[in-house]
Each structure stands twice: as structure tokens, then as C-alpha cells.
């Protein structure tokens, strides 16, 4: 949703220009009163589209008007009302908090076919099922557009189905069956590590989207969680929680997580180690990309490696 560009980094209290700024990534950024950032502009535009920033111009500055709009949105969405835009509010703005299961039984038993361009309850049912499986992170609107088609294709690919973007009986049957990751749960650590690297490389070039956790766009931790989940390994959502949930190793092996300290103290960015000093991650400028751990930006910010 919101793109991020790192302009500066604070070191020992001095404001210095960050080297290799094009590769820098802020991880999971939170927006709050007092910030001035391009992400705030996009937030204001999104609030306006939802009717919570009416008659105001997007300025990129998070002031009292923006906070008031955020609070009003949070209140109507039934989430914590604190005027701060974190993961919960981002998910709600993207529609993740709405219509969790419009008609589970109807979609489970549906035997027809839904395809691009269709509209109606059958599409809503499909979107709800995809959302429950983690393949659709947007509003359930009953419109089978490009986002829904991409989600269907991704689900089909993950379940060994014919990848045609059309939801027919076979796809609906798989949606109503077991979790997509269950078939991977018995894989060895070595196989999972090899698998996650292969999976991650499939998404090179996918754009950076703040709060993104699908192939339509990823943020730092959203990409890692998605790739490991497809390899049958469950990870928490944020970089900090990933750091706490994994085990330290003296040096990284292929498939391990490598962590960096960027815009704040502690782990705030991470990637998957590929070997030979390379790692794959989501960059704010390049999206999913491969970088060298030895370059002048990442090397001094390296915190350590963890085994999943």
C-alpha cells in the first residue's frame, strides 16, 4: 500500500546521509502524529477514498486532522482506537478485517465456475475462502478482477492444481480442504531450507508495498512470512518477533534468516540467506531483490543469523 524511501539514518545523534540509500528498507514502519513522509500522503489519500479525510488535501504531514481521520476509521472498523497506523490498521484499511467468512458452507459446496469479470455472491464466497487461506488480503467486494485472479492462480500453484486463474469445482474443493501448508509439515529442515530459497526467488521483482504480504506486493517481513509459509514453515509477522522466535547460529546457512539494524535499535530488517554472502529480501526501491551482505550499507548493520 505505502511505499517507503529511506533518506537519512541517525548515528550517535547526528543526521547523516545513508550510503546506498536505494537498497535501504525500513521494515515494518508505523505512522503517527508528527511524521512527515510520502507514506503519510498515501495514507491520507486512502483515508479520503474511504470517507475519513474529506475536504482536505494530502500533505504528507501527519497532524491532528490525519489522526482524527485515523481514529474515526479505527472506531468504525472495530479495532484499537489510538490514532496510530500500525499493522492492525493497515490490514483493516486493506479490507482484511471485513467479512472474514461470508458464507463458508456455501462456498465449500459450490460446484460451479467463477472467472475473471464475474460479480456477485459466488465471487464474495471465493474471496472469503482465499482470505481464510492467506492468499487474498483485500476487501471482499464480489468483483472478480486482476487481484482476485492473481490470488486464485497463486492458490492453484501452491496446491498443485492447473493454474488458469479460473475457480471451478477443483479449486473450490481444494479451498474447502486441508491447509495448504499441511503437505509440507513433515519435510526435513534441509528440504525446507532449499524449498524456501527456491520459492523466494520466484518473486524477484515483486514491488515493495508497505503492509504487503501477498505476491501483489510485499513489505520486509510480509515477504519472509509468505515464502516460509509456502515452504511449510510458520513465522510470525514482524521482524522483531521473527528474531525472538528463531535460534541464533554463529554463521548463516542457506535458508537461514539474516537480520539487520536499520532505522531503529534492534532488528528492523531481514532477509533469507542464499549462500556466498548473498541474501534475498524486499528493498523499498527495488522490491524483492538479491543483495550482498558485504556492501557498504548492509555490512555495518548486520546483527546476526538465525535458524528457523
pLDDT band with cut points at 50, 70 and 90 for residue 302: very high
Looking at 30-44, 93-107, 253-267, which range is the least confident one? 93-107
Q: What is the pLDDT of residues 239-274, one digit of tens each?
A: 989 999 999 999 999 999 999 998 888 899 999 999
Q: What's the pLDDT at 301? A: 94
pLDDT at 15 over 70: no
Q: What is the pLDDT of residues 222-233, one digit of tens each?
A: 999 999 988 888
Q: Are 95 and 89 in contact (CB under 8 A)?
A: no
Q: What is the pLDDT of residues 133-192, one digit of tens each?
A: 888 888 888 888 888 888 888 887 777 777 788 888 788 888 877 443 433 333 345 555
Q: What's the pLDDT at 193? A: 65
pLDDT at 280 over 70: yes
Q: What's the pLDDT at 194? A: 65
Q: What is the pLDDT of residues 196-215, one digit of tens each?
A: 888 999 999 999 998 889 99
Tell me the CA distances in angstroms from 67 to 34, 47, 64, 71, one per residue in order: 10, 11, 5, 6
As a whole number, the mean pLDDT across the chain is: 77
This prediction has a pTM of 0.46
Buried b (16+ CB within 10 A) or exposed e, 182-193: eebeeeeeeebb
Active site positions, annotated: 220, 269, 281
Q: What is the pLDDT of residues 58-72, one digit of tens each?
A: 888 888 888 888 887
What's the mean pLDDT in 112-116?
A: 79
Q: Give, for 247, the enclosing helix (H) or strand (E).
A: strand 247-249
Q: Which three cell numbers stand for residue 191?
A: 528440504
Domains of the chain in start order, with CATH, are 8-93 (1.10.101.10), 104-175 (1.10.101.10), 184-307 (3.90.1720.10)
Buried b (16+ CB within 10 A) or exposed e, 168-180: beebbebbeeeeb
What's the mean pLDDT in 276-302?
A: 92
Q: What's the pLDDT at 34? A: 86
Q: What's the pLDDT at 281? A: 95
pLDDT at 10 over 60: no
Q: What's the pLDDT at 19? A: 35
Go through the chain and tell me how many residues it has: 308
Amino acid at each position: 500500500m505505502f511505499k517507503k524511501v529511506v533518506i537519512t539514518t541517525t548515528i550517535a545523534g547526528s543526521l547523516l546521509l545513508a550510503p546506498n540509500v536505494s537498497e535501504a528498507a525500513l521494515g515494518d514502519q508505523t505512522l503517527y502524529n508528527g511524521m512527515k513522509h510520502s507514506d503519510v500522503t498515501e495514507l491520507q489519500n486512502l483515508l479520503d477514498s474511504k470517507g475519513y479525510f474529506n475536504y482536505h488535501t494530502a500533505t504528507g504531514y501527519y497532524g491532528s486532522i490525519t489522526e482524527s481521520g485515523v481514529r474515526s476509521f479505527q472506531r468504525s472498523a472495530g479495532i484499537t482506537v489510538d490514532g496510530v497506523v500500525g499493522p492492525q490498521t493497515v490490514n483493516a484499511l486493506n479490507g482484511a478485517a471485513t467479512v472474514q467468512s461470508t458464507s463458508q458452507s456455501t462456498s465449500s459446496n459450490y460446484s460451479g465456475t467463477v472467472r475473471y469479470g464475474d460479480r456477485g455472491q459466488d465471487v464474495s464466497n471465493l474471496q472469503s475462502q482465499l482470505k481464510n487461506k492467506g492468499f487474498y488480503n483485500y476487501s471482499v467486494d464480489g468483483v472478480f478482477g486482476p487481484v482476485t485472479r492473481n490470488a486464485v492462480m497463486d492458490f492453484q500453484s501452491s496446491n498443485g492444481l492447473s493454474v488458469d486463474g479460473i475457480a471451478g469445482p477443483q479449486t473450490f474443493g481444494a479451498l474447502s480442504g486441508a491447509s495448504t501448508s499441511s503437505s509440507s509439515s513433515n519435510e526435513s529442515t534441509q528440504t525446507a531450507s532449499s524449498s524456501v530459497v527456491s520459492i523466494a526467488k520466484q518473486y524477484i521483482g515483486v514491488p515493495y508495498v508497505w503492509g504487503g504480504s501477498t505476491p501483489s506486493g510485499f513489505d520486509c517481513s510480509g515477504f519472509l512470512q509468505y515464502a516460509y509459509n509456502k515452504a511449510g514453515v510458520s513465522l510470525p509477522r514482524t521482524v522483531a518477533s521473527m528474531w525472538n522466535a528463531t535460534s541464533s547460529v554463529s554463521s548463516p546457512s542457506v535458508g537461514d534468516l539474516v537480520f539487520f539494524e536499520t532505522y531503529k535499535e534492534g532488528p528492523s530488517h531481514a532477509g533469507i540467506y542464499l549462500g556466498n554472502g548473498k541474501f534475498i529480501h524486499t528493498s523499498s526501491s527495488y522490491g524483492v531483490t538479491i543483495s550482498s551482505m558485504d556492501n557498504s550499507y548492509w555490512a555495518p548493520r548486520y546483527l546476526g543469523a538465525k535458524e528457523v
